[in-house]
Amino acid sequence: MILRKSWFWGGAALVLGLALGWSLAGPVAVFGQNPTLPGVAKGPQLSLSPVPVSDAKLKVFAQALALIEEQYPEPKTTKDLVYGAIQGTLGTLDPHSAFMTPEEFRELQIETKGQFSGIGIEIALKDRVLTVVSPIEGTPAYQAGMKPGDQIVKINGTPTKNITLIEAVKLIRGPKGSKVTLTINREGFQQPKDIVITREIIPIRSVKARILDDGIGYIRVTHFQDKTDNDLQAHIKNMKQRLVPFKGLILDLRNDPGGLLDQAVRVSDEFLNSGLIVYTEGRNRNQNMRFYARAGQERKVANVPMVVLINEGSASASEIVAGALKDQKRALIVGTKSFGKGSVQTIIPLEDGSALRLTTALYFTPSGVTINEKGIHPDVVVEDKPLPTDKSAQKLRDELLSQHMRREGLTDKPWNQPITSEELDKDPQLKRAVELLRQWPPKNLAKQPAPKT
What is the per-residue pLDDT for 20? 28
State the average pLDDT for the chain: 82
Whether 181 has a pLDDT exceeding 60, the answer reads: yes
What is the per-residue pLDDT for 396? 59
Query: Which of these is catalytic: 150, 327, 379, 427?
Result: 327
Nearest alpha-carbon partner for 243 in 304, 325, 333: 304
Q: Are 293 and 266 in contact (CB under 8 A)?
A: no
User: pLDDT tens digits, residue range 122-162?
Assistant: 888 888 899 998 788 789 998 999 988 899 999 999 999 98
Confidence of residue 15 (pLDDT cuts 50, 70, 90): very low
Nearest alpha-carbon partner for 146 in 180, 182, 95: 182
- DSSP symbol at 283: S
3-state secondary structure of 112: helix
Confidence of residue 397 (pLDDT cuts 50, 70, 90): low
Confidence of residue 43 (pLDDT cuts 50, 70, 90): very low
Region 28-51: mean pLDDT is 40
Of the two residues 243 and 134, the one the predictor is more confident about is 243
Whole-Å CA distances, 2 to 127, 359, 400: 46, 16, 44
Region 224-231: mean pLDDT is 92
Percent of the chain's residues with pLDDT above 70: 80
Least confident of 55-64, 201-210, 225-234, 337-346: 55-64
Confidence of residue 450 (pLDDT cuts 50, 70, 90): very low
Query: Which of these is catalytic: 97, 206, 314, 316?
Result: 316
What is the per-residue pLDDT for 26? 41
Q: Which residues contact 333 (CB under 8 A, 6 or more apart)?
A: 307, 308, 310, 322, 325, 326, 376, 377, 378, 379, 380
Q: Is 352 known to be catalytic?
A: no
What is the per-residue pLDDT for 323? 97
What is the per-residue pLDDT for 158? 93
Whole-model pTM: value is 0.76
Strands 20-22 and 2-5 turn out to be unpaired
Whole-Å CA distances, 305 to 39, 66, 129, 201, 392: 25, 65, 46, 37, 38
Whole-Å CA distances, 354 to 258, 299, 422: 22, 40, 48
User: pLDDT tens digits, residue range 182-199?
Assistant: 999 998 999 999 999 999
Region 286-292: mean pLDDT is 91
Please name the helix (run of DSSP H) or strand (run of DSSP E) that holds residue 82, with its range, or none: helix 78-91
Nearest alpha-carbon partner for 256 in 13, 423, 429, 434: 13
Query: Which of these is catalytic: 231, 341, 379, 427?
Result: 341
Q: Is 316 known to be catalytic?
A: yes
Confidence of residue 2 (pLDDT cuts 50, 70, 90): very low
Region 310-329: mean pLDDT is 95
